Amino acid sequence: MNVKEQVKTAALTAVFLGLGLILFITVSYIVRPIDDTCVRERVTGFYAVEQNSLDLVTIGSSSVYRYIDVPFLYSKFGYTSYTLGTPGQSFHAYQYLIDEVEKTQHPKLYLIDSRRYIKAEPNKKINTKRLMELAGNMKYSRTRTVMVREMSVDIKDPLPYYWDLITYHAAWPQLHVDNLSFYKNEKKHALMGWQNMPGRKEIEVEDVSGITTQRPMVDRAEKELRELCEYAREKEIPLLFIGTVYHMTTEQKEVSNTFERIVKEYGMEYLECNELWEEMGLDPETDFYNEYHANCIGARKHTLFLGEYLDAHYQIRGKHTDKVTEIWEETAARDEWNFTSCMEKMKTRAAEEGVRIVLPEEIK
């Protein structure tokens, strides 16, 4: 075989392998399951956002995507944002998710969930289900590969977390026509990562505002926090850490105090809402879905407080194209309809139980 034929053969082989890889990736994206918790839609929805159109990106667990009403943050304050959140999202993933965001967006601020750091337990391994929910919905990339490698060190067989088609290859009988719409692993999320939660449960919220003592963080949580802060400082990536309101214990508030001290060592800010729930107008009787999450009314109150805080401390509101503005106006209108429907159902149920709900617009 002469040199010309060798080059031709090599080129054809490369094309064949390239097409095979594209087919493999596309099939992987299609067979990934669509779950009833909207995780798939929330992660793939980020990839569908117009490039360089976000003022703010939020990263974390359900303690952010059930608290920050993203479309309302736009309609009330003009901030375009997205919540890239998954259930029980580990703080080990935060730096990699920032790397993933920076490929298509350059937000002026990242809002980072603090609760996973605060509630970390010694010697507790990374939840494999939660890792698959995140990695199994991201696009294949070097960032994803490194993230999986770092987060799967305790997993005996990590290969399915790298190539999730191994896990889902037998899912063909359960496939729905909707799966085809995920062939690029990007599909617009109707509410930009926000999840509207109806329902109401009275919870106990302790007054932790007077607790100033500190308790050490779990070693690996502190290590990861410091690494994230160092990374952000080196890359000049602005972070604002946020602690949303839940049934926080005295011990957790002491850990939160340590968390705040460490964050401030790196020149960053921490908005600990558990100290401010009364100022925010939150009602433990009406504004929560369960002891760990706000309902749609409690989320509105969190979002109002956050928007006012951003206005007072940051200048991150950007100028956007007519196309982006149109998308956000439609998203905000959709969200308002959903919120009104949710609120009316909750008000009716509360009235039947003799409970009065204080709406966000009634807060002085």
Structural domains for the chain: 51-124+179-362 (3.40.50.1110)
Q: Which of 331, 276, 334 is nearest to 308 (CA)?
A: 276
Q: Where does the pLDDT of residue 80 fall: very low under 50, low under 70, confident under 90, or very high at 90 and above? A: very high
Say how many CA atoms lie within 13 Å of 172 toward its Cβ: 4
Q: Which DSSP state fits 141? A: S
Helix (H) or strand (E) holding 8: helix 3-31
pLDDT value, residue 363: 66
Q: Are 305 and 280 in contact (CB under 8 A)?
A: yes
Give the bridge partners for 243, in sequence order: 272
pLDDT tens digits, one per residue of 86-106: 999 999 999 999 999 999 999
Name the residue among 308, 310, 282, 275 with its Cα closest to residue 297: 282
3-state helix, strand, coil in the chain (%, to 5): 55, 10, 40
pLDDT in tens, 267-289: 999 999 999 999 999 999 999 99
Q: What is the pTM of this model?
A: 0.93
Residue among 3, 216, 232, 194 at smallest CA distance from 107: 232
Which residues make Cβ contacts (< 8 Å) with residue 218, sequence separation at least 6? 120, 121, 122
Span 214-222, mean pLDDT? 97
Residue 254 has pLDDT above 90, yes or no: yes
pLDDT of res. 135: 93
| 110 beta partners | 57, 239
Contact 115, 86 (CB under 8 A): no
Per residue in 15-63, pLDDT (tens digit) is: 787 787 788 788 888 888 887 668 999 999 999 999 999 999 999 999 9
